[in-house]
Amino acid sequence: MTKKVKIIEFLVRGALGICALVTLITTIGIVLVLGSETIPFFEEVSITDFLFGTRWTPLLEPKSFGVLPLVSGTGMIMLGSAFIALPVGITTAVYLSEFSSLKMRAVIKPVLEVLAGIPTIVYGYFALTFITPILKIIFPQTEVFNAASGAIVVGIMVLPMVASLCDDAFQSVPKALKEGGYALGATSFEVIGQVIIPHSASRILAAFILALSRAIGETMAVTLASGANAQFTFSPLQSIQTMTAYIVQVSLGDTPQGGIEYKTCFAVGSLLFLITLTMNVVGQSILFRYRRSSK
């Protein structure tokens, strides 16, 4: 019997191994694809012009390829969303892990899961038709497409991620440590602020980094809500364009393959990929180190 079994075993192992390699090939594919269009792009446009130029008009004459307007647009979305997602996310986690009854947990957790599962296009629609009109009432100078509206919904979108990663972190604080604090007569505010949060600081940081990286890569919500007007500005009520929204804008038009406009997509995509990859690697390695040391 053993011979037949051994052959099957060998084949199964091989087949499963090939499947596992698909993910590796995907990564290699991403790098090759982005590189193969980005390198020719930089033969036509100098890297310094690209990285430090403040005018982004690749689709209009005179063409200019300074990516900073897209970066500032993306940065504004990121900062704005952080402004919502980080405080709300972390207090939600505090509430879930320290104060809530099991019943409340059973309500909040699914709500967060649903919020995390709603497609980004829906958030975009919500921003455009609900949040922007409200902003207009408060700040009459608000434009139809504006950074703030996009940032708010992206913040809502990444909030569940911050909350659940921080909740995991708080749950893993040793019970003895918390009880030590309470036994000294500390209030929960003091225990949370001086025991729990310092103890899980690095994991909270990882949660923030991973959530912000998600915010940077967000596409449809900001495309719908924040516009397609690449300008180097820091005013949240104006129309802007993010890196992702630019790629969408080009894809919707009839851009011939091989032209400089086509290549800009990949150059911007490469920049986006590098930024998010760096953040993810940093965030994941913090979590990974923690997972290993906790064993």
- Applying the rule CB under 8 A, the residues between 143 and 182 that interact with another protein are 156, 159-160, 163
Dihedral angle at the C-alpha atoms of 220, 37, 272, 229, nearest 10 degrees? -50
Q: Which of 52, 130, 139, 234 touches another protein (CB under 8 A)? A: 130
Among 19-27, 52-60, 199-207, 233-241, which window interacts with another protein (CB under 8 A)? Answer: 19-27
User: Please, what is the minimum distance in Å from the beta carbon of residue 6 to another protein?
Assistant: 8
229-246 b/e (C-beta count within 10 Å ≥ 16 → b): bbbbbeebbbbbbbbbbb
| Amino acid of residue 218 | E
| Structure-token pair, residue 145 | 């497409």
The least CB distance from residue 70 to another protein, in Å, is: 13
- For the segment 62-101, give every residue that binds another protein (CB under 8 A): 87-88, 91-92, 94-96, 98-100
Interface with another protein in residues 227-256 (CB under 8 A): 244, 247-248, 251-252
Stretch of 61-69, 200-208, 229-237, 269-277 contacting another protein, by CB under 8 A: 269-277
Q: Which residues contact 45 (CB under 8 A, 6 or more apart)?
A: 65, 260, 267
Query: For residues 72 and 164, which CB has a smaller minimum distance to another protein in the complex?
Result: 164
Q: How far is the CB of 62 from another protein (least distance, A)?
A: 26
Q: Which of 40, 55, 63, 120 binds another protein (CB under 8 A)?
A: 120
Please state the closest distance from residue 34 (CB atom) to another protein, in A.
Answer: 7
The secondary structure of residue 257, as a DSSP letter, is T
Cis bond upstream, residue 62 (ω within 30):
yes
Q: Which of 46, 54, 288, 289 is in the footprint of another protein by CB under 8 A?
A: 288
CA distance 157 to 85: 8
Q: Tokens at residue 3, please? A: 């011979």
User: Which range touches another protein (CB under 8 A), out of 41-49, 58-66, 172-180, 279-287?
Assistant: 279-287
What token pair was written down for 26? 């995907």
Question: Which is nearer to another protein, 55 or 290 (by Cβ)?
Answer: 290
DSSP labels for 71-115? HHHHHHHHHHHHHHHHHHHHHHHHIIIII--HHHHHHHHHHHHHH
Question: ∠69-76-27 over CA atoms, to 5°?
Answer: 80
Distance (Å, whole) CA 162 – CA 91: 10
Q: Which is nearer to another protein, 31 or 51 (CB)?
A: 31
Site string for another protein, 178-217 (x = CB under 8 A): ---------xxxx-x-----------------x--xx-xx
| Minimum CB distance to another protein, residue 149 (Å) | 13
- Determine which residue in the list 39, 47, 114, 177 makes contact with another protein, applying CB under 8 A: 114
The token pair at 261 is 């406009």
Binding residue (CB under 8 A) for another protein from 158, 212, 269, 286 = 269
